[in-house]
Amino acid sequence: MLGCERLPVVSPESHEGEGHLRIAHLTTVDMSLALLLATELEVDQEAGHEVLGISAPGSYVDRVEALGVQHVPIRALTRRWNLRSDMAAFFELLRTLRRLKLDVLHTHNPKTGVMGRIAGRLAGVPVVVNTCHGLWARAEDPLFKRLFVYGAEALAIRFSDFELFQNADDANTLRRFLKPGRWKVVGNGIDLDRFQPDPEGRRRVRAELGVADDEILVGSIGRRVREKGLAEYAESADRLTDKAVFVWVGPEDDTDAAADVPHQDALRFVGERTDMPSVYSALDVFVLASYREGFSRASMEAAASGVPMVLTDIRGCREIGTDNEHLLLVPPRDAAALTDGIGRLLDDTALRARLGTAARARARTEFDQRRVAQDSLDTYQAVTGGRVLPLPAAADRINVLHVLPHDQARGAQVYAGQLRDALRGDPHQEHLVVTLFDKPVEQAKPDISLRVPSGVARRVMNPLAVSRLRRLVRDRNPGAVVAHGGESLKYVIPAARTTPTIYYKVGLSSAEVSRWSRTLLYGALSRRATHVVGVSSPVAAQIEDDFGVPVERLSIIPNGRDPEIFHPAPADDRVRARPLILWVGQLEPGKRPELFLDVVDALRAEEIDFDAAIVGEGPLRAGMEERAGALGVSLLGSRADVPDLLREASVLVFTSAPNTEGMPGVLVEAGLTGLPVVSTPAAGVADVVAQGDTGLIAETVSDLTGHLVELLTDPGLRARLGAAARARCIEEFTVASTAGQWRDLVALVGFRRGIPGQQEASSEL
């Protein structure tokens, strides 16, 4: 194949002229400023801005001011909804905002979010930003309540410059009211340095509570109100009182003063505490039976502390992790289901350990509150215009929609989300992730979910998915729509119409070419795309040879990974007594995990002392368990701590069949970790692994075994190949480097199609 080149990487434009801003954060009570927004206040100050906190005054004012933040009281503010007092609070807030002469007002909480956006605009504050921490109404609430809440939000949105959402569900609920290009999903975070396992704190807190070492302690943490699932938790405690000690940690709340519930004598109520990392560490099981959450902070803190969790299956809890992988999810308002979930953990020590480890690993990568705080700061800089981060006119900043069938913990979904995040601050383009079908949020954290029910029609073409995507394209008027994979392509081509489209083909032997009829179909769809991107050289060759896409409409952009997640172990980490060879992937035929067992079998005959482990789940697992056990290979199942396992390993073994894969992401992950690989010559492997320089490639069991003998007996060779692999992957396969190529491709496609504002961006190509 000739003429198919990777796009050049163009560094994002630098932005000069950052200046001092006067920023105020508005909440209903001072506790929210001190406990929920402390890091955001600190990040704003570290950036050189003057920061104020506005709320009703209370016992947390001293803690707010200890952060270096001026507290401004609104004395009429209360949590309770009352027309007379709320009107008084609104006018007091309006007078205060006019006096403060702010540059940015950032509103939080349901009540102050609504009144603050309106008052901020009426007071002439130049920039008003709101964070939705969780809608006050759910889909199952009465119609009147939903109309009131959604109507109030729709009105308030018209007065703000930008909307930030902690979860995608809330953004989707309000999507019809949002201003194009003026909202995003940012997630939530906590202080990861503070919340981590604390053995000494565990011993101290359990001693204070009178809980013996051999007793199981179950805890729920939060305000003592019904909507936190107090009744269901108390009933579960009553049913399981012979198996564990149950506590509730948190203050009573004046919004639910009559919160007495049946069976509450089975609970031990503990007041508010300030040593929360120690409290979480003292727990053996964390429970949150809440009916409504924005993005549960207590659950993130428990996860970071390594505590196994039982949460209700609601928005704001589903984002914490995947059921039975990081935690257990149970239906809300269902005491029997909650009891069963808690009982499973009480009866299964191994399950508690597995979920706690996986939850902590996910928290370390997903719940950094400094990242969330930086998102807010970036938003101020973007919206304030020339004083901080100049943005082009709205017509020049185009949307780019990245379409996935659904969200799942696979490479394409992970990369789409990371690509969106890497391009978040680009002044010309806004990249958004869109999922078509209704599935739980996992890795990509879609900005927009079209929530089309999965069904039989999906196997061919679901007309509802086409209709909803077409409506989205019409409403958003994007500069380009990117189809990630063949299933997305089926919907993008008919929905996009005249909008430029890009097909990102990430696999070689897929359903698209399994039969001649599919080859014809996907060939026709590919040729209708404005541009086609292959993830590797073999994939690009297939696009040209089998699908007939002209080479001038074809590019290669490889997979990327985050080097802050995948990095070598610190030099002072303890070295394993025996080297570990690791296999990572789905346990399915194309990945050939049984070939790994063949290699281990041959390697055992070499009398080399080593450990071996397989990470992953799939249909082949049951048939492998007996042989794996006999060979001493640990089947670790699906794991959230793959970066840590790669750092612990000595060699990664990759065994996929030659006509599978596209560009194996795990090879990039290993390379960034500084881990040498021994691999079969599957498609895309040669794009990542330089034979003899960054890894070793072979086809037969004998040759694979020989390469492993070399590496396991020569630590110097392992170190040399690992260092070279990291250098290569840092240069070519990080998310940042590949994101630059995507930015340039979108600019080029837009320029060819006459998209306004793209000529300047594409002139660098």
- Over residues 348-372, the mean pLDDT reads 91
pLDDT band at 612 (very low <50, low <70, confident <90, very high): very high
pLDDT band at 60 (very low <50, low <70, confident <90, very high): very high
Let me know whether 209 and 358 are in one domain.
yes
Let me know whether 360 and 480 are in one domain.
no
What percent of the chain is predicted at pLDDT more than 70? 89
Q: Assess whether pLDDT exceeds 60 at residue 715.
A: yes
In this structure, is residue 193 part of a structural domain?
A: no
Rounded Cα distance, 408 and 414, in Å: 8
Q: Assess whether pLDDT exceeds 50 at residue 416.
A: yes
Q: Assess whether pLDDT exceeds 70 at residue 198.
A: yes
Let me know whether 360 and 410 are in one domain.
no
Number of domains in the chain: 4
Domain boundary among 133, 157, 185: 185
How would you class 497 by CB atoms within 10 Å of its CB: exposed for 0-12, middle for 13-18, buried for 19 or more? exposed
Q: Which residue has the tokens 């270096």?
A: 68
pLDDT of residue 49: 93
Q: State the pairing for strand pair 268-270/245-249.
A: parallel
Q: Which residue has the tokens 């163009």?
A: 10
- Over residues 580-592, the mean pLDDT reads 94
Q: Which residue has the tokens 């050049």?
A: 8
- Over residues 662-679, the mean pLDDT reads 94
Least confident of 38-47, 202-211, 404-413: 404-413
Q: Assess whether pLDDT exceeds 50 at residue 501.
A: yes
What percent of the chain is predicted at pLDDT more than 90? 58
In this structure, is residue 631 part of a structural domain?
A: yes
pLDDT band at 55 (very low <50, low <70, confident <90, very high): very high
pLDDT of residue 442: 53
**Quick check: helix, strand or coil at residue 693?**
coil
Let me know whether 428 and 550 are in one domain.
yes
Let me know whether 446 and 539 are in one domain.
yes
pLDDT of residue 258: 47
- Over residues 695-723, the mean pLDDT reads 95
In this structure, is residue 723 part of a structural domain?
A: yes
Residues 237-254 pLDDT 10s: 999 999 999 999 998 876
- Amino acid identity of 61? V
| Whether the Cβ atoms of residue 708 and residue 762 lie closer than 8 Å to each other | no
The set of residues, in sequence order, having a beta carbon less than 8 Å from that of 147 and lying 6+ positions away, is none
Rg value, the chain, Cα: 27
In this structure, is residue 372 part of a structural domain?
A: no
In this structure, is residue 8 part of a structural domain?
A: no
DSSP secondary structure, 218-267, as one string: EEEES-B-GGGTHHHHHHHHHHTTTT-EEEEES-B-GGGTT---TTGGGS
- Over residues 81-95, the mean pLDDT reads 93
In this structure, is residue 742 part of a structural domain?
A: no
Q: Which domain does 260 fall in, by range?
A: 199-366
> Residue 33 carries which DSSP code?
I
pLDDT band at 457 (very low <50, low <70, confident <90, very high): low
pLDDT band at 100 (very low <50, low <70, confident <90, very high): very high
CATH number of residue 268's parent domain? 3.40.50.2000
Let me know whether 270 and 244 are in one domain.
yes
pLDDT of residue 393: 39
pLDDT band at 729 (very low <50, low <70, confident <90, very high): very high
Residues 613-648 pLDDT 10s: 999 999 999 999 999 999 999 999 988 789 999 999
pLDDT of residue 448: 85
pLDDT band at 512 (very low <50, low <70, confident <90, very high): low
In this structure, is residue 542 part of a structural domain?
A: yes
Q: Encoding tokens for residue 337?
A: 């289901």
Least confident of 39-53, 211-225, 568-582, 685-699: 568-582
**Quick check: helix, strand or coil at residue 104?**
strand
Let me know whether 550 and 639 are in one domain.
no
Let me know whether 425 and 293 are in one domain.
no
Let me know whether 676 and 754 are in one domain.
no
In this structure, is residue 58 part of a structural domain?
A: yes
Buried b (16+ CB within 10 A) or exposed e, 654-685: bbbbeebbbbbbbbbbbbbbbbbbbbbebbbb
pLDDT band at 422 (very low <50, low <70, confident <90, very high): confident
Residues 261-295 pLDDT 10s: 888 889 999 988 889 999 999 999 999 999 988 78
Let me know whether 292 and 207 are in one domain.
yes
Q: Identify the residue with better confidence: 721 or 83.
A: 721
Least confident of 366-375, 376-385, 386-395, 729-738: 386-395
pLDDT of residue 18: 45
Let me know whether 271 and 342 are in one domain.
yes
- Over residues 144-165, the mean pLDDT reads 94
Q: Assess whether pLDDT exceeds 80 at residue 397.
A: no
Let me know whether 327 and 467 are in one domain.
no
- Over residues 436-465, the mean pLDDT reads 76
pLDDT of residue 426: 80
